[in-house]
Amino acid sequence: QQQVKQSPQSLIVQKGGISIINCAYENTAFDYFPWYQQFPGKGPALLIAIRPDVSEKKEGRFTISFNKSAKQFSLHIMDSQPGDSATYFCAASLGTASKLTFGTGTRLQVTL
């Protein structure tokens, strides 16, 4: 019940296109859902996060859509750029100072 399932495993998008990554969770008690971006050899960087009382959050080119009834959330990257090529992880947690349960990751490649 602690799992977070992430898809697709890899994604190739043309420059200027929209990248969409999906996650599904099982534990309805989760109350915080972040997305992290990780470049090779670097630590994960917090991109954007959402709480379950909000259905959408936008920060620049990044948008989280959250569907509480379906227990799903997704990351949309608008106007994708080659510099967005990285691995993206969704995660979920309950409470504060607690474990982040990560999805399996999506490797995004943005081509010219």
Partner 1 sequence: DTEVTQTPKHLVMGMTNKKSLKCEQHMGHRAMYWYKQKAKKPPELMFVYSYEKLSINESVPSRFSPECPNSSLLNLHLHALQPEDSALYLCASSLVRLAGGNEQFFGPGTRLTVL
Q: In the complex, which residues of this chain contact partner 1 (CB under 8 A)?
A: 31-32, 34, 36, 41-46, 49, 51, 89, 93, 95-100, 102-105
Residue 17 C-alpha from the chain's centroid: 17
> Please, what is the minimum distance in Å from the beta carbon of residue 9 to partner 1?
10
Distances (CA, A) of 66 to 8, 15, 59, 86, 88: 17, 25, 14, 22, 17
Side-chain-side CA neighbours of residue 12 (13 Å): 2
> Please, what is the minimum distance in Å from the beta carbon of residue 96 to partner 1?
5
Nearer to partner 1, 14 or 39 (CB): 39
How many residues does the structure list for the chain? 112
How far apart are the C-alpha atoms of 35 and 48, rounded to whole Å? 6
Nearer to partner 1, 59 or 79 (CB): 59
> Please, what is the minimum distance in Å from the beta carbon of residue 74 to partner 1?
17
> Please, what is the minimum distance in Å from the beta carbon of residue 2 to partner 1?
11
- How many helices (H) does the chain have, and how many strands (E)? 0, 11
Nearer to partner 1, 18 or 46 (CB): 46
Nearer to partner 1, 14 or 104 (CB): 104
